[in-house]
Chain A
Amino acid sequence: MTGDSLLSVQNLCVDLNTSAGSTAILRDISFEIATRQIVGVIGASGSGKTVLARALASWLSPPLGISAGRILFQGRDLVADAGLAKRLSGREIAYVGGNPAGALDPTMTVGTQIVEKLRAVRPGISVTDARKRAIELLSAVRIPAAHQRFHEYPFQYSGGMMQRAMIVDALISDPALLIADNITQPLDVTIAAQILKLLRELANEFDTGVLFVCSSLPVACDASDRVMVLHGGQVVEQQPPAALVQRPRHAYTQGLIAELPRLWDETTPAPMHGDARQPIMSVRGVSRSYSVRKPGGLGKVQVQAVRQVDFDVYAGDNFGVVGESGCGKSSLMRLLTGLEQPDSGEVLFEGTNVSTSSSAELRRLRRRFQLVLQDPYGSLPPQSTIGAILEEPLKIHRIGSARERRARAAEVMNEVGLPPSLYHELPMGLSAGQRQRVNVARAMILEPRLLIMDETLSALDQTEQGKMLSLFERLQAQHGFTYIFISHDLAMVRRVCSRIAVMYLGETVEVAPNRKLFFDPAHPYSRALLSAAPTLEQRRYRPEECLLEGEPPSPIDLPPGCSFANRCPHAFDRCRLESPRLRSSGEGALSACFLHQPSSQRATTAELLR
């Protein structure tokens, strides 16, 4: 144990008190955190991680309550002295949550609120000093142009920047203990990796102890000095990360590690399905831009959401589209399904042009390709029964009699593993996993050929994801479905997709077969994504070499040349002048990067000028 004990939790128990009696949420939790130490807490959803974080931040409100145990902070018991706990919170014990978007008042500038907080917990500091310190810290967490950003409002910050601002807000009062509750969860992998690096530096620099709560084992292992595993409200083991991964003692941890998908396991077969010569959907040079009002002024500007996207999806195959938030994945999905028309290019489904079809034609086409959405909660109408939700597509397409529709609904419910008793239920009581099963059932009831999965699994935990993937495999074997997985989860894509398109700022920068993309990616952005992917494995691409600084440029003011050039470690002059097109990079892969394009292909300049 390094340093002296900062926080010592002894036999902490938290109960949920309802009129029906009390249920134990946390039982006999004991651990210690020393100065400059980062202690990771992992566990499945419902294991009590967040309750633990909140108990330490004195943020438990009825019906939750501490029923036994002590929380010794610098030797003083916070459980016994609620007044002390209140005085310390925000000052010596700071908390950063997983949802930075709603964490600050939207009507005040970020800077004002950080200053307000500092002056609330340290009344002696003058406004000028507080402001100076806030700007210093904002630059310390690498917010570009901090003195300017200080005067901006929360809605002008991106998710990653907002999370940094919240870390500044927590650290500005020089707390001895920082409770970081799932802080990387809403962030993209490359941004999350930057935040983790930052957290480590800050813990050393400011002599802070950190409790790092996280739902991903690889992330927790990356970030922490010691990892504590919570299971069913109890600490089942705590070890340094390396020891934990190599010699997990508890069955739950062993299961968790065994279940982890591997990116670079040679034995994972690259999935290959279908007939590679018969495209079911072809995307040809598709672009789409939206015109939005210029912020704070007159006139419109063009946001280029999708630019020159090209790929083929083969029948019976699994195709993946990966990229970070804002890269145009969802806009592309809207174009693929004909919800919107591209400005240029075409989307062909079994030879029919989706983009130019009339709405009647499109409705007929939609019987054969269906969409499954990301949000399991918003995508089901809360006032319809499961049965009605499933039968609705049949009604719209006027298929079968009422009795046949009902039989068909029961059949698909059985296929996706929903108990028949749910037929008359409302979606209200369903878990996220069950809801996604309803979504899948609704999509497949029309017997489509192609299913487009837009982040369908990202709301589910690891175990549930695994079950859904096996379900997809089974359905594919039975019905010959083709899947397009739109996702940010590399491990999932590695497991199920045979070909993968990587998107950055609306462009496909690389389209490659599974093995080629993971073992020998051609585009620097693909390498950066792989280097930041949370995994316990030996990385093939070291973050120090590949990881990106900064954030993607705004799709409004796209720089000329390659859109990745401003973050690319290998950018050279040409990249800033002209934009690379997709060219073969060997082994059936395409990549839009000059590094792999011999200069004899300079003819492209002429092509561009055309």
Chain B
Amino acid sequence: MFIMVFLAKRLAQGTLIVVLVAFVIFTLLRVVPGDPVRLMAGGMAPETLIEQIATEMGLRDPIPVQFGRYIASVAQGDLGQSFMRPASGAAVGGASFDDMTRSERARVLDLIAEAAPKTLQLALLAMVFALIVAVPIGVAGGLHPGRWPDRMALYLGSVFVSLPNFWLGIVLALLLSVKLGWLPAIGYRGFAYTVLPAIVLAVEMAPFIIRTLTVSVAQIMRQSFIDIARIRGLSRLQIIVRHALKNASVPLLNLLGVQFSMLLGGVLVVEFIFDYPGLGLLTINAVLQRDFPLIQGIAIVTSAAFVLINIAVDLATTAIDPRLEY
């Protein structure tokens, strides 16, 4: 019962958030300088032709009208077509305003469906790497506050957090791909291409996980129920695994939710450095090309993902700590 009410309420809120995000992006794109029709048709196209194309595409209607039309088609599952990208692959633009294949533009949904799984794969792998490194260090730090594991967690975190990701990406590519030839670095032709960018992202995420865990484990270990558990006859292992870690996982889950959302939103720098064909790279190109439908599509999909991740995190934390039921 509770869970149905909760889901219905949160999904309704989420839909509203997604629509608001879509509206803000939609409006902003249309008020900033830069005419997509000019980019599409090319610098040499005559002014009348541009006006004609623009009118045909409905780009000269008032913004609310355009938005209404757009959101209606989104509701039917149609995110529209890219202004720039043909279904065939090669970019359209320049002098090809009279190119007959222009009508064969790629559907936004297809573009996203192609890029999103790669980003998802990258995000999941990065998170797994980060957790493998950070959980033991963070928990050890939290269990021995003030002693060497705690200090090591702090120093390691500080080092990780101060490595710039573009620098680390380039250094790792040089070392692991160019010098040692262990891992491929540029582009995407299989799972192995995910590893290197995932390592870079994991190094970026790990310090936050270490810090959160150290603090929350140390805090839980000071609670009286942990102290009393020993007098009640529980073993130390039982206390740590069943009670301390369970309680400490709530702040960790909240952090992971936020981090995962950020990763899904596209890791712009890392995907750009490794030329990794995920949502981040797609976003960068879409912005450079003023590809309105694509930018909007990405915004809608990622904000929907944020909403869903948040709901999942809240459900998970409520399952762990029923006091959070809200």
Residues of chain A with a CB closer than 8 A to B320's CB: 107
B233 touches A121 (CB 8 A): yes
- CB-CB contacts of A96-111 with B at 8 A, as 1s and 0s? 0101001111111000
| Smallest beta-carbon distance B250→chain A, Å | 8
Residues of chain A with a CB closer than 8 A to B224's CB: 97, 99, 102-103
Known contacts A104-B225, A107-B320, A153-B323: A297-B2 contact under CB 8 Å = yes
A105 touches B225 (CB 8 A): yes
A89 sits at the interface (CB 8 A): yes
A116 touches B325 (CB 8 A): no
A169 touches B232 (CB 8 A): yes
B323 touches A117 (CB 8 A): no
B235 sits at the interface (CB 8 A): yes
Residue in B5, B243, B247 with the greatest tally of chain A CB atoms within 10 Å: B243
B231 sits at the interface (CB 8 A): yes
| Smallest beta-carbon distance A511→chain B, Å | 38
A57 touches B234 (CB 8 A): no
B61 sits at the interface (CB 8 A): no
Bound complex: CA A89 to CA B326 (Å) = 39
B88 sits at the interface (CB 8 A): no
For window 204-260 of B, CB contacts with A under 8 Å fall at 223-225, 228-235, 238, 242-243, 246-247
Bound complex: CA A157 to CA B113 (Å) = 50
Residues of chain B with a CB closer than 8 A to A91's CB: 233
Q: How many residues does chain A have at the interface if contact means C-beta atoms less than 8 Å apart?
A: 31
For window 162-181 of A, CB contacts with B under 8 Å fall at 169-170, 173
| Smallest beta-carbon distance B41→chain A, Å | 55
Residues of chain A with a CB closer than 8 A to B235's CB: 120
| Smallest beta-carbon distance A157→chain B, Å | 13
A297 touches B1 (CB 8 A): yes
Chain B interface residue number, banded: 20 to 34
B190 sits at the interface (CB 8 A): no
| Smallest beta-carbon distance A301→chain B, Å | 15
Bound complex: CA A550 to CA B204 (Å) = 57
Residues of chain A with a CB closer than 8 A to B326's CB: 293
B5 is contacted by which of A90, A169, A297 (Cβ under 8 Å)? A297
Residue in A103, A107, A293, A295 with the greatest tally of chain B CB atoms within 10 Å: A107
B89 sits at the interface (CB 8 A): no
Residues of chain B with a CB closer than 8 A to A296's CB: 1-2, 325
Bound complex: CA A431 to CA B224 (Å) = 23
A541 sits at the interface (CB 8 A): no
A1 sits at the interface (CB 8 A): no
Closest to A175 in B: B233
Bound complex: CA A361 to CA B223 (Å) = 45
A95 sits at the interface (CB 8 A): yes
B323 touches A89 (CB 8 A): no
| Smallest beta-carbon distance B6→chain A, Å | 10
| Smallest beta-carbon distance B322→chain A, Å | 5
A89 touches B233 (CB 8 A): yes
A298 touches B231 (CB 8 A): no
Residues of chain B with a CB closer than 8 A to A107's CB: 246-247, 320-323
Closest to A152 in B: B322
For window 347-394 of A, CB contacts with B under 8 Å fall at none
| Smallest beta-carbon distance A245→chain B, Å | 33
A472 sits at the interface (CB 8 A): no
Residues of chain B with a CB closer than 8 A to A153's CB: 322-323
Residues of chain A with a CB closer than 8 A to B238's CB: 116, 120
A155 sits at the interface (CB 8 A): yes
Bound complex: CA A295 to CA B5 (Å) = 13
| Smallest beta-carbon distance A99→chain B, Å | 6
- CB-CB contacts of A69-103 with B at 8 A, as 1s and 0s? 00000000000000000000111001101010011
A59 sits at the interface (CB 8 A): yes
Closest to A156 in B: B322
- 20 new A-B contacts, CB < 8 A, other than A90-B234, A117-B233, A297-B1, are A89-B230, A89-B231, A94-B232, A95-B228, A97-B228, A103-B224, A105-B247, A106-B247, A107-B247, A107-B323, A117-B234, A120-B233, A120-B235, A153-B322, A153-B323, A155-B322, A155-B323, A295-B325, A296-B2, A296-B325
Q: List 19 A-B contacts (CB under 8 A).
A: A90-B231, A90-B232, A90-B234, A97-B224, A102-B224, A102-B225, A105-B243, A107-B322, A116-B234, A116-B242, A120-B232, A120-B235, A121-B233, A169-B232, A170-B232, A295-B325, A297-B1, A297-B5, A298-B5
- List the 6 shortest-distance A-B pairs measured between CB atoms, nearest first: A90-B233, A121-B233, A102-B224, A107-B321, A90-B232, A105-B243
